[in-house]
Amino acid sequence: MKKGCTLFLAFLFLNALPVRCDSQDPVRVERLSERVLMLTEDSPMENIIVAVAAKKGIVVIDSTGSPATAALFRKAIEKEFARNDFKYIINTHPHWDHAWGNQVFPEAVVIGHENSLGQAAQQARSAENMLRRGRERVVALRQGLQKAGTDADQKAKLLPEIAFQERIVQGLSAAFSPVPPAISFSDTLTLDMGDVSFKLYFFGRAHSGSDIFIYIPAEKILVTGDIFLDVGWLPLFSGMETLDIPKWCEVLDRLFNDADGFSTVIPGHRKTWSRDKLKMWKEYIENLWTGINAAKKEKLTLAQVLERFPLEERYLYLKELGHSEQRIREFHERNVEAFWRQLLVPITPLIEQATAKDGIAAAIEKCRVLWRSQRDEYDFSERSLNQLGYRFLSQDKPSAAIGLFAFIVELHPASANAYDSLGEAYMVAGDREMAVRNYEKSLELNAGNQNAKDMLKRLRQAGAAAGALTQQETVTAEMIVAKCAEAMGGMEKISLIKTMRVNEIFPDHGEHAMIFEMKRPNWFRNPRINLVFDGKRACFLKGPGNKSGPELVDEDEWKDFEVDMAFHFPAFFDYPAAFAGVESVDGRDAAKLSVNLPLGAVMTYYIDSKSFLIFRAAAKFVLGGKEHTPYRDFFDYRQVNGVLLPHGFSYGSRTGQMKGRVKSIETNFDFPEAWVKIPDILN
């Protein structure tokens, strides 16, 4: 449902002109003065950009999170100003929802803080993941829309979110290219545009490592990015591990010391702020920082600091904006802890170094010594330790993660989150019993922990299935397939996956990503090398190495492609399977399923008798008169569209066992038959 077009900001801007919005256009435009526009995306995030028509050209502050949306913003700006001489784009910080529309203004020069440089590759990877999630989200939302039927309220809620996600997909599906700053600065920068100047200040590390404020003196406007929000979000100044709090205070002092300074604060989302509101939060930061420094000199503990600095009543206005009192209190406590940590020595670098050198047990023992002797000097906060634990998991180091999470439990025995994290690490490591034990403890400490409830349900179902399997006199393939499907997320969700695009890294082939696309049951293509397989034949569309082509692949090698598909998606969901017995592999009891693929290869899947997830797949086929037996071991299962799929694997190579990793998995994209059509010239 389109939001009303009202003068809801008129009381802030004495010279504000009416807001305009079109029923088919997600851009709300408000003219703040003859040369300033504030444009807001009509979406769940309500991204804001500011455009200023100066004598030397148009300056745009932030560019939203999708080129498709940015194009609509550009069109609106051109219409309002009746000009298109875009000169500069200023990014308040490089997060996707502020900088991924930069490419829509190719003639403009991008300006940002120097800390935002060198992030193009990381942003490109993030864009791939966001595109995948966006497509999956669109599918899920449209399914919800169908279920809504004639429910007008539910449809009104879903339609803006669908449109928002579709703009993200549209913008990132095309030739998306992150555009980093061409002009950067370290502390301050003044931009002279003839009749109006822009004063840029590095605020310091806060929400990101490169937050900047933009002050426009002639318009009495201060643009603050995502630091100060209070509608939908709470202020985001404590987002980084390391915070430049003295720098924040310095910048705010400079801005407020200008007697004829700003009167309006424009954040990155939702609603504008007044000068007085920002002053109130300036006092919050200053008072908390001064008090915590004094408490540190008094050698108080964090618990004593939390008791000394309760949240002042005046900040409870946030309740009127939809925040619960509990959320507000937790927000304040997190700020107290974050400010307190700035006065401590980080412990996580020591743990990482000691783990790499001597192992996690030795690292934790060093931490225990420091905890007993210098706990008031080091940052042993649960948050920082927990983040390192998850880094260990992402690096396929479950043993290190278990050791660290267990240490967190030791330090914070009343933390439900600590036990939840330890349970997850045990689950990743395949220890169902310990995973259950820790999730149960987490739920005991916090009965509202939905994640613990979900994980316990899954683990208990897997455990019951394993017990039933060991007692079953007759084990059938159908039984194993059903249990595996249940463990992965359910046959209904699995059946919805029709196409897959897997972006993965093979270390012995370098760090370049390899893209694998398939449509169940037997269409395959590798767009990087122009190789396609239609289930019967394979060819290079441009010849090997992109030479002139097309050229058929030898018939004997076709079966290699269906084996690749069977490694990426269990073939027993598409072809008949046979139960092949039970075998112990590296200490894990496995039920085996055998599948004969159409072109002659035989796949054997090893399914863990406890979790019922596949931990190994082995193939056997003859190629060039020689038997081949490639295999993959799977780990690091993560949800994709509601289905658990492995994101880590090891495989047999010419140099021995190697490890690979999955960068992203996208499902249910269009896969037309034309993609795998063998050219007529080869028929």
| Residue 294, domain member (yes or no) | no
pLDDT of residue 470: 52
| Per-range mean pLDDT, top range of 45-54, 240-249, 535-544 | 45-54
| Residue 288, domain member (yes or no) | no
Instruction: Report whether 29 contacts 76 (CB < 8 A).
Output: yes
CA pair distance 605, 607, nearest whole angstrom: 6
Q: 104 and 78 share a domain?
A: yes
Q: 194 and 164 share a domain?
A: no
| Per-range mean pLDDT, top range of 17-26, 273-282, 509-518 | 273-282
| Residue 578, domain member (yes or no) | yes
Q: 96 and 150 share a domain?
A: no
Q: 613 and 493 share a domain?
A: yes
pLDDT of residue 247: 95
AA identity, residue 675: W
- The dihedral region occupied by 554, where left means phi > 0, alpha psi between -120 and 50, and beta the remainder, is beta
Q: Any idea which of 4-8, 28-32, 400-404, 519-523 has the lowest mean pLDDT?
A: 4-8
User: 262, 278, 294: which is the final residue of a domain?
Assistant: 278
pLDDT of residue 132: 75
pTM score over 0.75: no
The closest of 366, 394, 420 to 405, measured between CA atoms, is 420
pLDDT of residue 466: 55
Query: What sign does the CA torsion over 164, 495, 431, 428 have?
Result: negative
User: 406, 431, 466: which is the final residue of a domain?
Assistant: 466
Q: 495 and 626 share a domain?
A: yes
Q: 413 and 545 share a domain?
A: no
Q: 221 and 251 share a domain?
A: yes
Please tell me whether residue 353 adopts helix, strand or coil conformation: helix
Q: What percent of the chain has pLDDT over 70?
A: 91
pLDDT of residue 152: 84
Residue 20 has pLDDT above 80, yes or no: no
User: 137, 158, 173: which is the final residue of a domain?
Assistant: 173
Collect all residues with Cβ–Cβ distance below 8 Å to 663 and sequence separation of at least 6: 125, 128, 503, 504, 505, 513
pLDDT band at 259 (very low <50, low <70, confident <90, very high): low
Q: 34 and 152 share a domain?
A: no
Q: 63 and 209 share a domain?
A: yes
Instruction: Report whether 48 contacts 38 (CB < 8 A).
Output: yes
Residue 521, preceding peptide bond in cis (omega within 30° of 0): yes
Average pLDDT over residues 394-413: 88
Phi, psi of 269 (to 5 degrees): -150, 155
CA pair distance 372, 356, nearest whole angstrom: 23
| Residue 31, domain member (yes or no) | yes
Q: Any idea which of 331-335, 411-415, 447-451 has the lowest mean pLDDT?
A: 447-451
Average pLDDT over residues 69-85: 95
AA identity, residue 461: Q
Residue 23 has pLDDT above 70, yes or no: no
Q: Any idea which of 1-15, 30-44, 375-389, 416-430 has the lowest mean pLDDT?
A: 1-15
Q: What percent of the chain has pLDDT over 90?
A: 45
| Per-range mean pLDDT, top range of 168-177, 201-210, 637-646 | 201-210
| Residue 476, domain member (yes or no) | no
pLDDT of residue 433: 83
Collect all residues with Cβ–Cβ distance below 8 Å to 285 and sequence separation of at least 6: 237, 245, 248, 249, 252
Residue 395 has pLDDT above 80, yes or no: no
Residue 122 has pLDDT above 90, yes or no: no
Q: 507 and 552 share a domain?
A: yes
pLDDT band at 473 (very low <50, low <70, confident <90, very high): low
The total number of structural domains that make up the chain: 4
For residue 513, how far is the Cα from the chain centroid?
Answer: 19
Average pLDDT, the chain: 85
| Residue 610, domain member (yes or no) | yes
pLDDT of residue 258: 80
CATH code for the domain of 398: 1.25.40.10
CATH code for the domain of 57: 3.60.15.10
pLDDT of residue 512: 60
Collect all residues with Cβ–Cβ distance below 8 Å to 542 and sequence separation of at least 6: 530, 548, 549, 550
pLDDT tens-digit series, residues 438-472: 999 998 999 888 888 888 877 776 555 555 555 55
Residue 546 has pLDDT above 70, yes or no: no
Between these two residues, 476 and 40, which has the higher pLDDT value? 40
| Residue 332, domain member (yes or no) | no
| Residue 334, domain member (yes or no) | no
Residue-number span of the structural domain to which 160 is assigned: 122-173
Q: 667 and 598 share a domain?
A: yes
Average pLDDT over residues 586-591: 78
The closest of 54, 7, 62, 63 to 30, measured between CA atoms, is 7
Residue 16 has pLDDT above 60, yes or no: no
Q: 110 and 140 share a domain?
A: no
pLDDT tens-digit series, residues 217-250: 999 999 999 999 998 888 888 878 789 999 999 9
CATH code for the domain of 593: 2.50.20
The closest of 184, 190, 178 to 111, measured between CA atoms, is 184
